[in-house]
Chain A
Amino acid sequence: MVALAACGTTEDDRPATLRYVTESILAPSCGEAQCHSTFKQSLGDVFDTVVGARQSLHRNGLALYSDRTNAADAELIHWVTDDKPFNRTDPQGNIIGRMPWDAPLPNADIDLMKKWIAAGVPGAQCVPEDYGGQDCNLNAVVECDSEGNYGATVMACSGATPTCVCDGSSNTCGCKAQ
């Protein structure tokens, strides 16, 4: 075991893409059957498929962050680094703690997710095909600036023009099908 544990010497040059992050990190660590699998979809988040992860990022604004110089401020990163990150409760009323719930993530995986988010979450842009060729999820969370204009580069549409609303309460964004 010790000899096996000594494996790995290369600096982290893994692809910072949605597909890689989903299949290598999110699916095995967060997409377990009883958690964020397609089977359970705990609190609406699905991390065991690329399409599910992309939709979950949109619906819940998990890759958005207020400080554009700090990818660690994204909600997804808070979930895997902070204790009781948002004081949110599950359906039973219990405060939801740090994720993953059953085993910690390696620091290198968290760093790769930060790198991916800082690069604009490549691969996570809204794709109408995810929604059966229809407009993208109209409840996607969008980043809004102080003037109420969307600055949705993080959750931009793929090959489509985003139609966003920044009214201070809903801050929603959709992508028109081509």
Chain B
Amino acid sequence: MKTLLFAIIAVIGVSLGIGGTAHAYPQFQMSRDQTCWGCHVSPSGGGILNENGLNVAESISQFGTSPEFLNKLITTPDWLALGGDFRGAYGYLQTPEKSLDPIPMQAELYANARFKDFTLHVTAGARPPEYRNESATYFWSREHYLQWQTAAADGELFVRVGRFMPIFGLRFAEHPDYTRRYGGTALYTDTYGVAVEYVRDKYEVHVTGFIKDPIIDPVAHDNGGAAYAEYRVTDKLAIGAEGMFTKSDDDQKIRGGLTAKVLVAPTVLIQGEGQFVNQQIVGGGAPNQLVAYILGSWFVTDPVMVDVGLGHFDENIRIKNLDRDCVDLNIHWFTTSHIELIVTNRLEVIGQTKGGPTGAYSLLQLHYRL
């Protein structure tokens, strides 16, 4: 049975080829729980759900169903948690050439083994294969780390060593969101590092030091450090601050920014992140950039969440018509505890339409959580 299951998963992974991955939904914060750790095993969110997260997945879904791994067809010992995510999309793109395209996104499995205060976590699955090195690069482990955690002063202290995404900013699931794509945590920029994280109901602090991946041909080419702190002023308002320094052979970047989350109604959360970026390019050039994203999320009913996002990115604030703005409309339907349908839409203009062609996409995405 297990062999057959893994064979099916492997075939799905190969057929997907893969072009994206996803993390947690910070849209759930405040209305469901104060912290990412309230629903996820990881202190920074994403991946395997804990018992509370499983209960939320079941309670908000249209048709229920058992939320556990594989609908509880397989039970694991208490020390072992398994999971996985599969995503794919199809739809219309206008960039500005118009096309209909399939977009393979994610086929990953997670394993989390906990022994007392230590946790070993592995995320493994398909990846976009490297050109002319395909046979060796269809699969990889995007995350693998050892984590130590202990209770400390009404909170929980975590130390992670291994490969993971530096913890920075609001950590939206959708990697095209400007504060992810242009904001220091682009798709597959997970790398080796050490993180010290402290999480309690009132506040959380994450500090990460990281290096360029010395093992594979990586996405990110930097060494650096990142810090993010979030303070919950009330149970309906949180503010945060962030900073990141990265240095590669070709440039260095300093990022500083602020975040905020406001639960304006029991079912409406507005959150935003803004960054100022200074890039120093080796050999000349030092553009200052702005990156911002504001997301309003409304649970129309429990199974339906509507996101409206506004993004702004200015690659060089000194030069006119290099800024881009987008309006995103994403509609999530949580059908069962495991299956989510998402319609994602974007309209994007450059220089307020005077700086370049208008882009757009409209995609239907299917997400299956194992």
Contact = CB atoms under 8 A, between A and B. Distances in A.
A50 B283 CA distance: 11
Contacts of B217: 38-39, 41
B287 A24 contact: yes
B293 to A, nearest CB: 10
Given A8-B314, A8-B319, A41-B131, A48 B95 contact: no
Contacts of A50: 249-250, 282
Interface string B205-227: 00000000000111101000000
Contacts of A78: none
B95 A7 contact: no
Interface stretch (B61-69, B109-117, B183-191, B233-241): B183-191
B128 A1 contact: no
B132 interface: yes
User: What secondary structure prevails in chain A residues at the interface with B?
Assistant: loop
A148 interface: no
Given A24-B281, A107-B356, A97 B321 contact: no
A20 B284 contact: yes
A1 B325 contact: yes
A33 B219 contact: yes
Contact of A106 (B99, B282, B356): B356
Given A19-B283, A33-B186, A106-B351, A38 B320 contact: no
B312 A5 contact: yes
Given A24-B281, A43-B131, A34 B314 contact: no
Contacts of A40: 128-131
A115 interface: no
B7 interface: no
Interface in B278-317: 279, 281-285, 287, 290, 292, 294, 310, 312, 314-317
Given A4-B290, A10-B319, A109-B315, 11 more contacts: A4-B323, A5-B314, A8-B321, A8-B323, A20-B281, A40-B131, A41-B132, A41-B217, A98-B96, A102-B93, A108-B356
Which 6 residue pairs spanning A and B have beta carbons closest together?
A8-B320, A33-B188, A41-B131, A98-B97, A34-B19, A19-B283
Interface of B: 18-20, 93, 95-97, 99, 128-132, 176, 181-182, 186-189, 216-219, 221, 248-251, 279, 281-285, 287, 290, 292, 294, 310, 312, 314-325, 348, 350-352, 355-359, 361
Interface of A: 1, 4-5, 7-12, 14-15, 17, 19-20, 22-25, 28, 32-34, 37-44, 48-51, 83-84, 97-98, 100-109, 123
